[in-house]
């Protein structure tokens, strides 16, 4: 079994990046962008716009270049902001169009943030379908880009990962181009095979608009990473770059592993949560020896009562803690969480506003309604309106500061695209979407700037808005709403996700008894579910209202989560078995931390797997060293050389419906 090449960045990687992108940056006219303005097509920033170039050093690892040119006749300024990384083979850029004139511009249309050729032999596109509440989500696809072949990919309904995933790899004979579209709305990308390689275009799906005086629109952020060697190596070069430059930090420190606890007495979501019961539940968890580090309050904490007295969590738009249930706001709850060494997480969904709520009553001018369905109860908060965005920023920041909130969780449970497009004028197509995206990102940037140490959790009916621009500011703690307890399904989701995003949350539910109806398996603390649910952040399925659980077993299993969590966040990822979505398989994966040459191999034998053993070939290890492997639960040890592992592999033997984690380190 051949050893996968080290993901350490090499001169060959940096040269490959220059080969693919150096020409793009050679002159303003060579920039890999295109647009039509006043009926004339342009590529790059043309000489007639008199472009100027300014380069500055951001830090030891980043050089930024700004290129801007102006159409003197109309006052349109085109500015490209380019970032080149010196420690990774990565280049990124975003382009801005600003009307600096005193009148509306001519029509600006067909704006592509990427429009370029890439040379390489036998290109193959690797892509995924994202999340869309389906057993088939996060399915990887491999599509040869033969000359003349073309593939267009776009999400559904205006959320960036809804049915499509804005992360791609184009594998050629000698190298892999990794490509991401950073656009938290409706993007589109087309990959076409050419005689010399592949042509790629990407941008906001629809742009045909005049710009008003003083107005700015932007393209998606385009990210390109080059890596020589095979697909697995490119995955870990990406993960290392992501860990170094994308994964958010709190107070300047990398986000740590966390263990979640939450509890409600009854009701829909958290509509029956109160100050009193939340604090009481924390105390009960502590009494049971459960070491939680996040206290989670999800939807329903705000005023949302129906006339019959029942809580209705989708009644969003009045963002205050419900006075009867939280008479002193969140501060007593956060104080209690902090006493237990935990962060307080609170759910929000500001972009959806229900009829009759505070924002609907007081600021209808901030809302976009569906013209095709004026009776729809929900409207879209227009974050492209500066006054609206500023009010929301001020209001939520006050809630965060006064309530002691540590993690801001933002959900997005509707498709916004038609709200934007039905409110665009004929000569402003795409404007509402573009301005909303800018407002949404600015809102998050302002929340983070005003509240040092704040985390943001990105949620959108699961994982439907986790593009790279969003991920620079957040982590996706809820990557899907589908199949929380269907082990073989969520493990297949992991197979795709860990190639791109190190930090996710998992839960330890089991729905073994009846997948058709998702009947929950709750007879006792489930060891197998813990193995399928460990991640950077884990929510054990512990119903604290019950006293018949084996809480000692739960505490023991949470220690297993703590042993592995840092490797998910900061390690290289090696799936040692191929992608599969079936109950009769083994799932084996490895996370390796090169800094100290340690890691773990996890084997999961699914509930219908007939094979009692499997041999896999761990990657990233040194042939010249010996390693001690230790079962994290039983203490069983094996000592084996890296060379032997490469040749004969590592054999796992375990009962059906079981998991094992083998931690390893140099002997």
pLDDT digits (tens, 9 = 90+) for 651-660: 999 999 999 9
Q: Please identify, among 482, 508, 539, the residue that sits at the C-terminal boundary of a domain.
A: 482
The pLDDT confidence band at residue 584, using thresholds 50, 70 and 90, is very high
Average pLDDT over every residue of 623-642? 97
Kindly give, in sequence order, each residue whose CB lies less than 8 Å from that of residue 470, ignoring residues fewer than 6 positions away: 160, 182, 184, 458
The reply to whether 169 and 278 lie within a common domain is: no
Cβ–Cβ < 8 Å for 664, 628? yes
> CA-based angle 367:368:374, to the nearest 5?
115
Cβ–Cβ < 8 Å for 73, 56? no
The reply to whether 238 and 298 lie within a common domain is: no
Kindly give, in sequence order, each residue whose CB lies less than 8 Å from that of residue 486, ignoring residues fewer than 6 positions away: 135, 511, 515, 518
- Residues forming beta bridges with residue 141, ordered by sequence position: 127
- Average per-residue pLDDT for the chain: 95
At 109 the pLDDT is 98
Give tens-digit pLDDT for 401-442.
999 999 999 999 999 999 999 999 999 999 999 999 999 999
At 12 the pLDDT is 97
At 251 the pLDDT is 82
At 524 the pLDDT is 59
Cβ–Cβ < 8 Å for 259, 540? yes
Q: Classify burial at 449, counting beta carbons within 10 Å of its beta carbon; exposed 0-12, middle 13-18, buried 19 or more.
A: exposed
Q: Which two tokens stand for residue 168?
A: 């791609």
User: DSSP E strands: which ranges in 120-186?
Assistant: 124-128, 140-144, 150-153, 167-171, 175-182
Cβ–Cβ < 8 Å for 187, 205? yes
Q: Please identify, among 482, 510, 533, the residue that sits at the C-terminal boundary of a domain.
A: 482
Q: Which two tokens stand for residue 370?
A: 């569906």
Domain assignment of residue 263, yes or no: yes
Q: Which two tokens stand for residue 135?
A: 């057993």
Secondary structure (DSSP) of 302-333: SS-B-TTS-B-TT--S--S--TTT-TTTTHHH
Q: Which domain holds residue 302?
A: 257-482
Percent of the chain with pLDDT over 90: 89
Q: Please identify, among 431, 455, 482, the residue that sits at the C-terminal boundary of a domain.
A: 482
At 509 the pLDDT is 87
Instruction: Specify the CATH number for the domain of residue 638.
Output: 2.60.40.1180
Instruction: Specify the CATH number for the domain of residue 188.
Output: 2.70.98.60
The reply to whether 85 and 230 lie within a common domain is: yes
The reply to whether 318 and 440 lie within a common domain is: yes
The pLDDT confidence band at residue 13, using thresholds 50, 70 and 90, is very high
**The pLDDT of residue 44 is above 80:** yes
Give tens-digit pLDDT for 74-117.
999 999 999 999 999 999 999 999 999 999 999 999 999 999 99
DSSP 147: B
At 651 the pLDDT is 98
Give tens-digit pLDDT for 202-217.
999 999 999 999 999 9
The position carrying tokens 């796992």 is 652
Strand 294-297 and strand 258-261: pairing? parallel
DSSP 60: T
Round to the nearest angstrom and report the end-to-end CA distance of the chain: 23
**The pLDDT of residue 138 is above 90:** yes
The position carrying tokens 């990959």 is 191
Give tens-digit pLDDT for 449-494.
999 999 999 999 999 999 999 999 999 999 999 999 999 999 999 9
Nearest to 379 by CA among 366, 389, 388: 366
The position carrying tokens 């097509």 is 41
**The pLDDT of residue 338 is above 90:** yes
At 512 the pLDDT is 74
Domain assignment of residue 548, yes or no: no
Cβ–Cβ < 8 Å for 105, 32? no
The reply to whether 438 and 466 lie within a common domain is: yes
The reply to whether 87 and 229 lie within a common domain is: yes
DSSP 438: H
The position carrying tokens 């380019």 is 82
Average pLDDT over every residue of 332-341? 98
> CA-based angle 499:505:506, to the nearest 5?
95
The reply to whether 161 and 294 lie within a common domain is: no
User: DSSP E strands: which ranges in 60-207?
Assistant: 62-71, 76-85, 90-99, 108-112, 114-119, 124-128, 140-144, 150-153, 167-171, 175-182, 187-193, 197-204
Q: Classify burial at 580, counting beta carbons within 10 Å of its beta carbon; exposed 0-12, middle 13-18, buried 19 or more.
A: middle
Query: Residue 612: left if φ>0, alpha if ψ -120 to 50, beta else—which one?
Result: alpha
What is d(CA 651, CA 613) in angstroms, rounded to the nearest whole number?
Answer: 7
What is d(CA 493, CA 580) in angstroms, rounded to the nearest whole number?
Answer: 10
At 521 the pLDDT is 44
The reply to whether 110 and 183 lie within a common domain is: yes
**The pLDDT of residue 577 is above 60:** yes
User: Radius of gyration (Cα) for the chain, nearest Å?
Assistant: 26
At 2 the pLDDT is 59
At 522 the pLDDT is 53
What is d(CA 558, CA 632) in angstroms, rounded to the nearest whole number?
Answer: 12
Residue 564 backbone dihedrals phi, psi, to 5 degrees = -105, -20
Cβ–Cβ < 8 Å for 572, 240? yes
Domain assignment of residue 272, yes or no: yes
Nearest to 82 by CA among 109, 119, 113, 50: 113
Give tens-digit pLDDT for 248-271.
998 888 889 999 999 988 889 999
Instruction: Specify the CATH number for the domain of residue 279.
Output: 3.20.20.70
Domain assignment of residue 76, yes or no: yes
Give tens-digit pLDDT for 340-351.
999 999 999 999
Q: Which two tokens stand for residue 529?
A: 């579910």
Least confident of 59-68, 295-304, 388-397, 547-556: 547-556
> CA-based angle 563:565:567, to the nearest 5?
95
The reply to whether 216 and 333 lie within a common domain is: no
- Please tell me the total count of domains within the chain: 3
The reply to whether 204 and 287 lie within a common domain is: no
Average pLDDT over every residue of 205-230? 98
What is d(CA 642, CA 617) in angstroms, rounded to the nearest whole number?
Answer: 10
The reply to whether 94 and 187 lie within a common domain is: yes
**The pLDDT of residue 649 is above 70:** yes
Domain assignment of residue 511, yes or no: no
The pLDDT confidence band at residue 513, using thresholds 50, 70 and 90, is low
The reply to whether 269 and 390 lie within a common domain is: yes
The pLDDT confidence band at residue 518, using thresholds 50, 70 and 90, is very low
Percent of the chain with pLDDT over 70: 98
Give tens-digit pLDDT for 165-185.
999 999 999 999 999 999 999
Helix (H, G, I), strand (E, B) or coil at 170: strand
Domain assignment of residue 648, yes or no: yes
At 510 the pLDDT is 85
**The pLDDT of residue 607 is above 60:** yes
> CA-based angle 660:665:667, to the nearest 5?
125
Average pLDDT over every residue of 482-507? 96
Kindly give, in sequence order, each residue whose CB lies less than 8 Å from that of residue 224, ignoring residues fewer than 6 positions away: 17, 20, 21, 90, 91, 92, 177, 178, 179
Q: Which helix (H) or strand (E) holds 277?
A: helix 275-287
Domain assignment of residue 563, yes or no: no
What is d(CA 424, CA 558) in angstroms, rounded to the nearest whole number?
Answer: 51
What is d(CA 366, CA 387) in angstroms, rounded to the nearest whole number?
Answer: 8
DSSP 4: P
- Helices then strands, counting H and E runs in the chain, come out as 13, 39
Average pLDDT over every residue of 375-384? 96
Query: Residue 89: left if φ>0, alpha if ψ -120 to 50, beta else—which one?
Result: beta
Domain assignment of residue 519, yes or no: no
Helix (H, G, I), strand (E, B) or coil at 159: coil
CA dist 111 to 30, 44, 436, Å?
A: 16, 11, 17
The pLDDT confidence band at residue 523, using thresholds 50, 70 and 90, is low
């Amino acid at each position: 079994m051949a050893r996968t090449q080290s993901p350490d960045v090499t001169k060959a990687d940096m040269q490959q990046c220059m080969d693919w992108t150096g020409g793009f940056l050679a002159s303003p006219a060579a920039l890999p962008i295109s647009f039509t303005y006043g009926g004339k097509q342009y590529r790059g920033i043309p000489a007639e716009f008199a472009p100027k170039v300014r380069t500055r050093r951001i830090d030891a690892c980043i050089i930024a270049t700004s290129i801007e040119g102006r159409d003197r006749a109309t006052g349109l300024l085109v500015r490209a902001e380019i970032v080149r990384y010196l420690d990774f083979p990565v280049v990124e850029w975003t382009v801005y169009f600003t009307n600096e004139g005193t009148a509306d511009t001519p029509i600006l249309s067909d704006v592509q943030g990427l429009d370029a050729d890439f040379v390489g032999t036998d290109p193959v596109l690797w892509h995924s379908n994202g999340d869309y509440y389906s057993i088939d989500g996060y399915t990887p696809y491999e599509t040869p880009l033969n000359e003349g072949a073309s593939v267009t990919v776009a999400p559904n309904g205006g959320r960036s990962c809804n049915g499509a995933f804005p992360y791609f790899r184009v594998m050629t004979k000698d190298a892999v181009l990794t490509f991401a579209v950073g656009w938290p709305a409706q993007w589109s990308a087309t990959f076409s095979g050419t005689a010399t390689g592949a042509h790629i275009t990407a941008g906001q799906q629809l742009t045909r608009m005049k710009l008003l005086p003083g107005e700015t629109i932007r393209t998606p952020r385009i990210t390109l990473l080059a890596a020589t060697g095979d697909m697995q190596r490119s995955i870990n070069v990406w993960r290392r770059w992501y860990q170094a430059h994308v994964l958010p930090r709190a107070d300047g420190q990398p986000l740590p592993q966390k263990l979640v606890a939450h509890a409600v007495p009854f009701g829909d979501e958290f509509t029956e949560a109160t100050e009193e019961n939340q604090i009481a539940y924390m105390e009960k968890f502590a009494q049971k020896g459960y070491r939680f580090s996040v206290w989670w309050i999800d939807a329903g904490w705000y005023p949302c009562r129906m006339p019959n007295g029942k809580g209705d969590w989708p009644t969003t738009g009045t963002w205050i803690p419900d006075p009867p249930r939280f008479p002193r706001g969140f501060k007593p709850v956060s104080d209690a969480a902090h006493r237990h060494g935990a962060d307080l997480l609170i759910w929000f969904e500001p972009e959806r506003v229900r009829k009759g709520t505070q924002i609907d009553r007081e600021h209808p001018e901030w809302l976009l309604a569906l013209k095709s369905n004026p009776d729809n109860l929900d409207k879209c908060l227009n974050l492209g309106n500066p006054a609206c965005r500023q009010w929301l920023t001020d209001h939520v920041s006050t809630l965060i500061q006064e309530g002691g909130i540590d993690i801001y969780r933002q959900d997005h449970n509707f498709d916004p695209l038609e709200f934007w497009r039905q409110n665009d004028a004929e000569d402003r197509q795409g404007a509402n979407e573009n301005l909303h995206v800018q407002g949404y990102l600015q809102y998050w940037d302002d929340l983070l700037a005003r509240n040092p140490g704040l985390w943001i959790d990105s949620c959108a009916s699961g994982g439907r808005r986790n593009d790279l621009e969003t991920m620079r500011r957040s982590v996706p703690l809820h990557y899907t709403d589908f199949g929380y307890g269907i082990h073989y399904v969520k493990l297949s989701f992991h197979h795709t996700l860990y190639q791109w995003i190190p930090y996710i949350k998992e839960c330890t539910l089991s729905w073994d008894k009846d997948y058709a109806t998702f009947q929950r398996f709750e007879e006792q603390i489930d060891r197998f579910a813990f193995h399928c649910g460990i991640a950077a952040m884990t929510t054990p399925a512990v119903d604290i209202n019950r006293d018949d659980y084996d809480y000692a077993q739960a505490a023991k299993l949470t220690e297993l989560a703590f042993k592995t969590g840092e490797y998910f966040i900061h390690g290289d990822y090696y799936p040692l078995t191929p992608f599969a979505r079936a109950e009769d398989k083994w799932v084996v994966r490895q996370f390796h931390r090169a800094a100290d040459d340690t890691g773990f191999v996890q084997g999961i034998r699914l509930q219908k797997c007939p094979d009692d053993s499997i041999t896999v070939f761990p990657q990233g290890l040194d042939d010249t060293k010996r390693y001690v492997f230790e079962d994290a639960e039983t203490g069983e040890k094996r000592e084996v050389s890296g060379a032997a592992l490469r040749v004969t592999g590592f054999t796992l033997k375990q009962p059906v419906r079981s998991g094992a984690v083998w931690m390893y380190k140099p002997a």
